Amino acid sequence: LPMMHVLDISWFTACMREGRPVAVETRHLIQDAFEVLAEFYEFNEVEGPCLAFRRAASVLKSLAWSVRRLGATEGLPCLGERSKSVMEEILQSGRSFEVEKILSDERYQTLKLFTSVFGVGPKTAEKWYRRGLRSFSDILAEPSIHLNRMQQSGFRHYGDISRAVSRAEARALGNIIDEAVRAITADGAAALTGGFRRGKEFGHDVDFIVTTPEVGREDRLLTDIIESLKQQGILLYCDYQASTFDQSKLPSHKFEAMDHFAKCFLILRLDCSRVDGGLNSVEGDSRGWRAVRVDLVSPPVDRYAFTLLGWTGSRQFERDLRRFARSERRMLLDNHALYDKTKDSDDSARPVRLISNAWGREARRSERDKG
Ligand code: CTP
Ligand code: MN
Ligand code: MN
Ligand code: MN
């Protein structure tokens, strides 16, 4: 991320996460333990410890060395008392009593299973658990349960969409989206973002930003793409959310998990013949296709840079970057803008707009060069 240099945040370990040499198992044990604890608190809707364990896990993920002694982690940020005691226990005995208790807990196991379905969050999972349901067949056999459209697709394509998406599959989907965009507008472009843009080999979905140089056209661009996917017979599920973006309301002072741009959450049918080296699924290969989760977001082009930064992730990195902007630079960063609180809003909006425009141009140029 070139933005890293711009913001001078090389001090922060979470930025250096990807692409580092992977070190030793104990560290992964500890990392997994933290993630289980974070999830346990998420299921219980206790936000503080949940975020603390998430942050601790991501700090460990960033290390280029293996953890052998607790003392070695002394200078690391974000490791609190509880993280340290879990870490110590694992370093000494190779396991954590607390984590093992959670893993064998029926409620945790059930919520984990239920939330693995697309469209099922912790609240719905909890509701089903309270009603005594413990398995997918319990849910599907229960006549009083009404599944919404998203959950129905989640169950229908469960096998496929819980299987990782490979880089080759992401590339194939990139071609499909790119072709759709270009058939609609010759100067439009689709850029790969999310985990694959960070260099990951596998993902749970594939994320793209689609743009057109014509500000105001982006909403219709997205609905046109969806129509094209439908025409091609590869649209298995679509949740489209129209833009609620209002330039005059920038900057937004409250934290927003979601941006206001036009976006859609899709399940697409990916044919084997489009993927070099075949599909990442055994059944899929004999069937000739698999289902894949795809996200598209379509900001106005002058917001492209911020969207690209925001959607590249990881979620933890975005949280850290926003916190850094706020506390170290007195700036507000979200998927829409970077706003300097120390300056008059009119003044500060101008350079940001310039950078943003320049990046939008840059993106279009590099997309064209590729084409
Ligand atoms: N994102 C966002 N607004 C949304 C959805 C996603 O800003 N409405 C951002 C998330 O913060 C994340 C990035 O888009 O940083 C990608 O999200 P996601 O696909 O969930 O995660 P990935 O990092 O791509 O990981 P995975 O491989 O599991 O998909
Ligand atoms: Mn993703
Ligand atoms: Mn994810
Ligand atoms: Mn996504």
ipTM for the predicted complex: 0.95
The pLDDT confidence band at residue 1, using thresholds 50, 70 and 90, is very low
Mark whether 246 is an active-site residue: no
The mean pLDDT value for 303-309 works out to 94
Question: What is the whole-number distance in angstroms between the Cα of residue 309 and the centre of ligand 1?
Answer: 11
- Least confident window among 21-30, 301-310, 354-363: 354-363
> 333 or 354: whose pLDDT is higher?
333
The span from the CA of 200 to the CA of 194, in Å, is 9
Question: What is the whole-number distance in angstroms between the Cα of residue 77 and the centre of ligand 4?
Answer: 28
Q: Is the pLDDT at 75 greater than 60, yes or no?
A: yes
Q: Is the pLDDT at 270 greater than 60, yes or no?
A: yes
Nearest to 247 by CA among 189, 184, 177, 300: 300
Mark whether 207 is an active-site residue: yes
Residue with tokens 């919404």: 148
Residues 180 and 229: beta-carbon distance below 8 Å: yes
Mark whether 295 is an active-site residue: yes
Q: Quick one: DSSP state of residue 250?
A: P
3-state SS assignment for residue 369: helix
pLDDT of residue 23: 39
How much is the mean pLDDT over the chain?
A: 86
pTM of the model: 0.85
Q: Is the pLDDT at 206 greater than 90, yes or no?
A: yes
pLDDT of residue 345: 53
pLDDT tens figures, 240-265: 999 999 877 766 656 566 799 999 99
Pure H helices in 272-314: 282-287, 304-312
The pLDDT confidence band at residue 214, using thresholds 50, 70 and 90, is confident
Nearest to 255 by CA among 105, 51, 43, 4: 51
Q: How many angstroms from the chain centroid is the CA of residue 135?
A: 27
3-state SS assignment for residue 252: coil
The mean pLDDT value for 196-215 works out to 95
Domains of the chain: 3-103 (1.10.150.110), 106-156 (1.10.150.20), 165-370 (3.30.460.10)
Nearest to 243 by CA among 214, 213, 266, 223: 223
C-beta 334 within 6 A of ligand 1: no
pLDDT of residue 112: 97
Q: Is the pLDDT at 142 greater than 60, yes or no?
A: yes
